[in-house]
């Protein structure tokens, strides 16, 4: 049970960090990654618990 909780917290922190990095990217960086600002906005609006 504790292992599952620890894993959940780890995944949530990782997703939060990735979302912050995506939000900070410039248009040029997003274009290099093949993403649009709209796709980033969609991802940022998702609750952290969703995949």
- What is the maximal distance between C-alpha atoms in the chain? 43
Please give the residue range of the domain that contains residue 16.
Answer: 2-45
Looking at the structure of the chain, the number of domains it has is: 1
Domain-embedded: residue 11: yes
Angle separating helix axes 2-24 and 37-45, nearest 10 degrees: 150
Domain-embedded: residue 6: yes
- Which H/E stretch holds residue 22? helix 2-24
Q: From the first residue on, what is the mean pLDDT of each consecutive set of 10 residues in the chain (51 residues)? A: 86 85 88 88 71 53
Query: pTM score, two decimals?
Result: 0.62
The residue behind tokens 């997703």 is 15
User: For residue 32, what pLDDT is reported?
Assistant: 92
User: For residue 46, what pLDDT is reported?
Assistant: 74
């Amino acid at each position: 049970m504790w292992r599952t909780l620890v894993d959940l917290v780890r995944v949530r922190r990782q997703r939060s960090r990735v979302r912050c990095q995506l939000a900070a990217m410039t248009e040029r960086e997003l274009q290099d990654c093949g993403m649009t600002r709209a796709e980033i906005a969609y991802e940022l609006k998702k609750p952290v618990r969703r995949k």
